[in-house]
Amino acid sequence: MYNSILVPIDISETDLTHQVIPFVQAHAVMNTAKVHFLTVIPSLPYYSTLGLAYSVEMPKIKEIQQAALEKLDELAKEFKLPPEKVQTHAVTGSPKDQILKLADSINADLIIIASHRPDISTYLLGSNAAAVVRHAKCPVLVVR
């Protein structure tokens, strides 16, 4: 049923990661799906887009991105999926935009995303999960 599953992971929220493990395992085992794990490093502050501190920050971004990818690779092992079914991605930008962009790029059939407990400003879902649910072109499973 699913050929490509996208699993956005916040590498700083291991509790959320552990919540999605059984759902990813169940959907990956039932299908021949490739599972794409994604972590998004938030963009540089606005002033850096104006050229301020750009040259100083840029090398650090690549180092941060590499460290995030290494952490994501470690977390992906906890899902106990065959290595040939797993691909990891670490990118920078807005989490909701990057999740939707990669979902389109890999032709995701399903997105499995964890959501924080809502507060009064988001009411039902975390803001990233809510945006993904609203704009994704495929089914989205939200895990709480």
Tens digits of pLDDT across the chain (144 residues):
789 999 999 998 888 899 999 999 999 887 778 999 999 998 755 445 445 555 555 557 788 899 999 999 999 999 999 999 999 999 999 999 999 999 999 999 999 999 876 554 444 446 788 899 999 999 999 998
- Of 94, 96, 126, nearest to 111 (Cα)? 96
CATH classification at residue 130? 3.40.50.620
pTM score of the predicted model: 0.84
Count of the separate structural domains present in the chain = 1
Q: Which residues contact 36 (CB under 8 A, 6 or more apart)?
A: 4, 5, 6, 7, 87, 88, 89, 102, 106, 108
Q: Domain limits at 128?
A: 4-143
